[in-house]
Structure 1
Amino acid sequence: MPAFVPFAALRYAATDDLDALVAPPYDVLSEADAETFRQRSEHNIVHLDVPSGPDGYARSGRLLERWQRTGILVADAGPTFTIYRVRFTDAAGVPRDLAGVIGGLEVVDEGAGGVLPHERTTPKASTDRLDLTRATRANLSPVWGLALASGLTALLAEPGEPVGKVSDEGVEHVVERVADPARVAAIAELVGSDDVLIADGHHRYGVSRIYRDEVRAATGRTDTAAEQTLAYVGELVADQLSVAAIHRLYQGISAADLLAALRRRFRTSEIAAPTPETLAAMEADGYLVLVGSDVAWRLDPLPGAFEDVRELDGAWLEAALADVPHEVTYQHGLAEVTAAVRDGRAEAGVLIRPVSVAEIQRTAREHLLMPPKSTFFTPKLKTGLVLRPL
């Protein structure tokens, strides 16, 4: 089972100004978004986390060192965990209160078990996160893990010491420090008692493995901070997860040819342009929607069409199009999908349903992998609330 350890977290000293200092994860920011956050404050985390210019990585390293030296960032007095609470109202109008814990999650070799992927990943040629880790010698944003051990939510119910709060677009992010040795030990023991499933951040976890191996080669040691990586871990239970769908966009195939291919396994019927109500109906009635530039089709699986395929919309589409040349990309958000098709950035799109928590649990327990981009966990965690020195 993976080790989950406390560490002396780096935090902003100006806890009353966090709105100007933290930001969404780097991989959801456009360059224009990043520049907006840079303009908020000379100390906004994006200055570190989204380097720009030819010497951007080295500048991030120097900046992180300067912020620690001048007291912009301060380290906890000793090893701690951080409870991270997210409070919001979901799309169905239900108030949600999610709680996870930030600590150092053991970096294990691929296939070794303990820390498990939950979906196949798409290749990433960029060395951006690895170059940034080398330059800063720090984890700036957490991997998102799901603990298979039961009882974590209850263990995190008692508040810790408040160390920051940010509200953004109806979502409240609250962080609390846990320094009490007994409680720290209890959290470490529980998370480390069963597998942890990576929900988001497969690429970052892979980068941590490369960096760990580099440190081992350079030092000959296996007891450095590089043996773990920054991770937010929540319990894998329905009331602690908010899962959205990541839809499919298709190119390299016309909408007509895509429809013809899908008709081999789906019954199709023309419908009105999809709305948020359509997404709810898809979940209730079990169908997908093909979006063309000026028409949409309901896709109901034909009886027996997917007997040999897992009951995942992404897997169904892979099976239906396995022998058809095409290119697929991934996009969350109904409006974003319809805009991409309307503007000609995609020939067609397919709206799929969110993966159920039960299927995520099954994936973990059976050590299976979902198709790429099967799940979109929301709300996204803020970068900058907790940093981990390496």
Structure 2
Amino acid sequence: MDSHTVVPPPYIAGPLRLEPFRALRLVPARIGDPSTGRAFARPYKDVANRLSRWQGRGLLVRDEEPALYLHEYSSAGISVRGIVGALDVSTRATRPEDRAVLPHEGIHPAQADDLADRMAEMQLNPAPILLVHRATDAARTALAGVAAQPPDHQFTDRSEQQHRIWAIRDRDLLRLIAGELATSRALIADGHHRYAAYLRLQRRRPGGPCDRGLAMLVDQGDTPLFLGAIHRSLVGTSLDDLRVAVESVGMSYGERDRNEAVAALASTQLAATDGRRWATVGLETGDRAAVEVLHAHIVPALPHGPSAVGFHHSVDEALAQATPGKVTAVLMPAPSFDLVRAIAEADRLLPEKATSFQPKPSLGVFIRSLRDEDDAPS
């Protein structure tokens, strides 16, 4: 298969289950430190032993009793709170309506294979994937009660993220959470390829710790992640090329000054520039996101290019690429969470790098060892 091929990841079947596990956690001085990522670098087969040495030096702590964890982290004025646990990936869904986890982007199979190989060599899940859902009132009330108690751990990491962590081991509360999650569906916010890697590992090694993968489930109705746009730069495409494509598919194109074009940016309106001229593109979206319309209709209609598509998390990054006659920057609106979820519920996938859920937790707050063969609850 071509390494550039993008395919839907497999689906896991409900009920949605997050199970207790024994958490590994770096000490605060190591969390958020740029050098921490090197602990998970090649050779991957040495990572587990490397972390064992860190544990011996007091740089890594391990909980002896399994738990679910309520994790709250704050960054840039945004606080996010969610449940961290071992996501059951052991059962595949054969019908869209049976899905417990909803991807909204495709994956590169080779990249998922590589990640699965790394996890197998490291013998751990190095960080949770991020899932979002809307919790039931009962689950929200129960977790609010947990958060009202003093946390088991509270610290600020090296990147200035603030963290509060509560271990949940009470059996009645665990049963309540399990019952409330069972009917829920979660959208993948970050970690599509790691999710696909979990499923590959499970196929290779069923019946053990690979039946689960580390995940954090955030209640988007309580402490929502910020959903931002990812802008585009179309290499080898001029602004005139864009106009021809837009008009050929029956949508509207109009040149504006910069302030007008940027102010017009909306769910049905794009702004584009070559660094000298500016324009707006009016879209017919219906139940689709603007990024779907751009890639499904406008990009294929371009008379030249793009020879490459650049992805940019900030407007300034996108505008820095704009070059008259050579590169057109396209500023994208951010889709709403409800629209992204509706697209995933309809069994559609957005184009690559269509969403940016922020902020993400620092690396090292939660690690799950695959050497813990009995990390499932008894």
**The TM-score by the shorter chain falls in which range?**
0.7 to 0.9
Distance 1:356 1:144 in 2: 17
2:20 alignment partner AA:
P
User: Which of 185, 199, 218 matches 1:209?
Assistant: 199
Q: Does 1:332 align with 2:313?
A: yes
Residues 215-244 of structure 1: per-residue CA shift (max 9 Å, x gap): 23xxxxx1x221110001012437523100
Distance 2:104 2:55 in 1: 37
The CA deviation at 1:372 is 2.5
Q: Does 1:262 align with 2:276?
A: no
Name structure 2 gaps, 5 residues minimum.
Answer: 1-14, 371-378
Contact 2:88–2:212 (Cα < 8 Å) also in 1: yes
The CA deviation at 1:288 is 0.9
Q: Does 1:385 align with 2:374?
A: no
Q: Does 1:197 align with 2:187?
A: yes
Contact 1:99–1:156 (Cα < 8 Å) also in 2: no
Q: Does 1:8 align with 2:22?
A: yes
- 2:30 maps to 21
Structure 1 residues 86-235: aligned runs within 5 Å: 86-88=73-75, 96-108=78-90, 111-112=93-94, 113-123=98-108, 125-126=110-111, 127-151=113-137, 152-158=139-145, 159=147, 161-166=151-156, 172-216=162-206, 222=207, 224-235=208-219
Q: TM-score, structure 2 length as denominator? A: 0.80
- 2:294 maps to 317
Structure 1 residues 32-43: aligned runs within 5 Å: 37-38=34-35
Contact 1:47–1:60 (Cα < 8 Å) also in 2: no
1:363 alignment partner AA:
I
Contact 1:121–1:373 (Cα < 8 Å) also in 2: no
Return closer, same or farther for 1:278/1:270 CA change in 2, 3 Å cut-off.
closer
- 1:33 maps to none
The CA deviation at 1:279 is 5.7
Any idea what SS the aligned residue of 1:240 has? coil
Contact 2:21–2:68 (Cα < 8 Å) also in 1: yes
Distance 2:323 2:167 in 1: 47
Contact 2:132–2:218 (Cα < 8 Å) also in 1: yes
Distance 1:116 1:3 in 2: 10
Contact 2:270–2:280 (Cα < 8 Å) also in 1: yes
Return closer, same or farther for 1:71/1:185 CA change in 2, 3 Å cut-off.
farther
1:48 alignment partner AA:
A
Contact 1:247–1:333 (Cα < 8 Å) also in 2: yes
Contact 2:30–2:158 (Cα < 8 Å) also in 1: no
Distance 2:184 2:66 in 1: 22
Return closer, same or farther for 1:225/1:290 CA change in 2, 3 Å cut-off.
same
Question: Number of residues paired by the alignment?
Answer: 343
The CA deviation at 1:169 is 7.0
Any idea what SS the aligned residue of 1:22 has? coil
Residues 285-306 of structure 1: per-residue CA shift (max 9 Å, x gap): 84211121322212223xxx45
The CA deviation at 1:343 is 11
Q: TM-score, structure 1 length as denominator? A: 0.78
Aligned-pair identity in percent equals 23
The CA deviation at 1:338 is 0.8
Contact 2:251–2:281 (Cα < 8 Å) also in 1: yes
2:122 alignment partner AA:
T
Provide the alpha-carbon RMSD of the alignment. 2.9
Contact 1:5–1:105 (Cα < 8 Å) also in 2: yes
User: Which of 58, 73, 90 matches 2:45?
Assistant: 58
- 1:244 maps to 228
Return closer, same or farther for 1:329/1:192 CA change in 2, 3 Å cut-off.
farther
- 1:366 maps to 346
1:100 alignment partner AA:
G
Contact 2:312–2:318 (Cα < 8 Å) also in 1: yes
Return closer, same or farther for 1:168/1:76 CA change in 2, 3 Å cut-off.
closer
The CA deviation at 1:130 is 2.3
Any idea what SS the aligned residue of 2:265 has? helix
2:17 alignment partner AA:
A
The CA deviation at 1:278 is 6.7
- 1:253 maps to 237
The CA deviation at 1:281 is 4.9
Return closer, same or farther for 1:347/1:153 CA change in 2, 3 Å cut-off.
farther
